[in-house]
Homo-oligomer: A and B are copies of this chain.
Amino acid sequence: MAAERGSGRDPAYLMDLLWRTQPSGSRGPRGSLSVDRVVAAAVEIADTEGIAGVSMRRVAERLGVTTMSLYNYVPSKDDLLDLMFDMAAGEPDPTDWPDDWRGGLTAFAMAQRQALLARPWMLDVPISAPPMGPSNLAWMEAALSIMDDTPLTEGDMMGVLSILSGHVLNEARLQVTMERATPRLGVEYADWNVLYGQMLARAAASGSYPTVARVAAKAFTEEESGGPDADFRYGVDYVLDGAAALMRARQAG
């Protein structure tokens, strides 16, 4: 029977993979590869060709090994993708972050955004498990330790973190989607305004979306909306204002 763990959809097994704590029975020959090398090769491919370029065959080829050999290190491609995500996230470097919670969280958000924009394919991997790899935990640690000296409840801290990095993720997704959808029409980034302009024209023409037509027209016309960076900062400030309000409430209570 032998417990037969490792079907890949066993969460405990995925944990062992993420943390590289696989019990390696030392009977046969020691493998020429390692989980790390497999994942690293996959990440390299994704970096240059996007997620679509990552196939088991291509990864194996890059490692000079048969396709099926990879399955000695990784139970399935889905798991490989999870591993890639964690490795690509990397660990944050908070040394240069400001000391105050507001500055710290802002730096945190910007760093996380930068990590995503540097590897847009991360937004393409269908995450099949809640984030529980070492890198993800390191990011979590960075954010939580910033809020540690504030009057926030533990629940609040988790809430703020969730909303903040949710915003980071959404904004990055939007930006990447935009950049991809922007064909070789014009130059620069302003193209998607044109696209949205078309949409709004359509909306206005139908008459069914009066508020959208008016509000969006105004919001997009406003003489340079500031681009994605400004939108991102706006959201971060919005979320952190909420955190500040929470702190005041907790302290007063």
A residues apposed to B, CB below 8 Å: 9-12, 15, 19, 124, 126-130, 132, 137-138, 140-141, 144-145, 148, 154-155, 157-160, 162-163, 166-167, 169-171, 174, 177-178, 180-181, 183, 192, 195-196, 198-199, 202-203, 208-212, 214-216, 218-219, 222, 225, 231, 234-235, 238-239, 241-242, 245-246
For the complex, what is the distance from the CA of A65 to the CA of B179, rounded to whole Å? 36
- Contact assessment for B192 and A130 in the assembled complex, using a CB-CB cutoff below 8 Å: yes
- State which of B181, B203, B214 has its C-beta within 8 Å of the C-beta of A129: B181
- Contact assessment for A209 and B137 in the assembled complex, using a CB-CB cutoff below 8 Å: yes
Residues in B whose Cβ lies below 8 Å from that of A130:
174, 177-178, 181, 192, 195-196
- Contact assessment for A195 and B138 in the assembled complex, using a CB-CB cutoff below 8 Å: no
Least CB distance from A101 to B in Å reads 13
Copies of this chain, count: 2
Residues in B whose Cβ lies below 8 Å from that of A178:
130
Contacts known (A130-B177, A211-B145); A159 close to B234, Cβ less than 8 A: yes
Could you list 15 examples of A-B contacts with CB < 8 Å? A11-B181, A11-B198, A15-B198, A15-B202, A129-B181, A141-B209, A144-B211, A148-B215, A154-B215, A154-B222, A155-B222, A157-B215, A157-B219, A158-B216, A242-B242
- Contact assessment for B158 and A215 in the assembled complex, using a CB-CB cutoff below 8 Å: yes
Least CB distance from A235 to B in Å reads 6
